[in-house]
Amino acid sequence: MITSVTIIGIGNSGCAFAVDLENRGIKTLLYAHPNHSANAAVIRSHGYLDSMGEIAGRFYPVVSTHMREALAFSKIVIIAVPSYAQADILSELEKHDVSKHVLIAASGNFFTLIACRRLRARFLLETSASPFGSRLLDGKPTEQDLSQSKCGMMIHVLGCKSTMPIASLPTDLPGDLRADVERVFPAPLQWCSNVVEAAFYNFNGVLHPVTAVMNAGWVEHSKGDFYFYKQGMTPAVAKIMQQIDNERIAIAEHFGPATTCLKQMNAYYGEECASLSEFAGKSKLHGSMKLCPTNMQHRYIVEDLPYVLVPWYELGVKAGLESPVMRSLILWSSVINGADYLKIGRNIAALGLENWSLDEILGMVMAKSDTLDAELSRYVDRKCTFV
């Protein structure tokens, strides 16, 4: 049974993981990359991390900016950083022996497909999303927040999903390790057959980019002063979301079972809504805050589109599917932000799969411990660039 967990990343997700695990008696170490250590400095200077909401209290995680110390603390490591920060973390991990570690990217967004070429961890896992709805109150708490904390760093845990899709590479995770992984998370896990199947459950790609683009005028005019879900996801917007979800399912079914965004969101949050627009209007968690971008360079575009929609679309092309609405959204977003997301996003070349057939991709992601190296050695392109 695990007694400690290392968490890479001291943001919304990492801090939520820390207070949840500490609250359940599991010691944690929070690691920050030396170039992104402001939050680490705040927690270290006060000596604790405060939490409010679903998890309330004061917690005392170890804080470090040294990867060697972080890896020595626990063999179970959660990577809880945005997709665009994964490259820096991977470069740090490459400097160390992780052959006895279980690395869990939460969320992964196909991280394992690239990491398996550069690391020889005992197992690589990824979830489809963070299990928590959480926000850091980093130095800008309200008077009510301040009344509950004398600290400049507080995590507000709004809630957690009722289940979490996850998968392992290689796929034969032993029972004892599976039990340890399950204890890391606050709710039951939904075990997928492979990491690509799990990555298609990140519904941020369905919900966020299209809503941001179709509300671009409102975002820019109001600087985010509206409720992104219950006001931004109108029936007309939801029609486009639904079409993107239909295209996602058609691609995902080449890699394993798939379910609709609506069905999974209802399951996550205990709702029984009949449409995505109804869910957006009724979800208490999503309606409690505005959650709206202040500009079009927000993570709803610059993370959820290049790191979620682009690999979905590119894997669809590999499967012979056109996905016209998904492609249109990528192109519109590229025009808005002056960035070629199909080129700079996590495309098929960035995943190192440009010269692989669909059957070869499936063979690799379904590999067990005794066959993964052989699968990789046949196809790895050392020139592929991590994105």
| Residue among 140, 309, 279 at smallest CA distance from 213 | 309
> CA dihedral defined by 53, 12, 109, 377, rounded to 10 degrees?
-120
**pLDDT tens profile 177-219:** 999 999 999 999 999 999 999 999 999 999 999 999 999 999 9
CA atoms within 13 A on the CB side of 95: 10
Interior CA angle at 179 toward 178 and 181, to 5°?
Answer: 65
pLDDT of 382 > 80? The answer is no
Q: What is the mean pLDDT of residues 78-83?
A: 97
In angstroms, the CA 205 to CA 312 distance is: 9
Give the number of other CB atoms < 10 A from CB of residue 348: 19
CA atoms within 13 A on the CB side of 79: 30
What integer best gives the mean pLDDT of the chain? 92
SS3 71: helix
Tokens 């669909």 -> residue: 358
**pLDDT tens profile 102-115:** 999 999 999 999 99
In angstroms, the CA 120 to CA 112 distance is: 11
> CA dihedral defined by 23, 28, 34, 38, rounded to 10 degrees?
20
Contact residues for 228 (Cβ-Cβ < 8 A; gap 6+): 211, 215, 290, 291, 292, 293
pLDDT of 356 > 50? The answer is yes
In angstroms, the CA 366 to CA 360 distance is: 10
Confidence band, pLDDT 50/70/90 cuts, at residue 380: low
Confidence band, pLDDT 50/70/90 cuts, at residue 383: very low
Give the residue with greater pLDDT, 154 vs 374.
154
pLDDT of 138 > 60? The answer is no
Confidence band, pLDDT 50/70/90 cuts, at residue 374: confident
In angstroms, the CA 318 to CA 250 distance is: 12
Q: What is the mean pLDDT of residues 297-301?
A: 96
In angstroms, the CA 385 to CA 351 distance is: 8
pLDDT at residue number 142: 45
228, 211 contact by CB (below 8 A): yes
117, 192 contact by CB (below 8 A): no
pLDDT at residue number 83: 96
DSSP letter at 93 equals H
Q: What is the mean pLDDT of residues 254-261?
A: 96
Tokens 């790191």 -> residue: 307
Largest CA distance in the chain: 60
H helical segments located in 294-340: 299-302, 310-318, 324-337
Q: At what angle do helices 372-379 and 111-118 cross, to 10 degrees?
A: 90
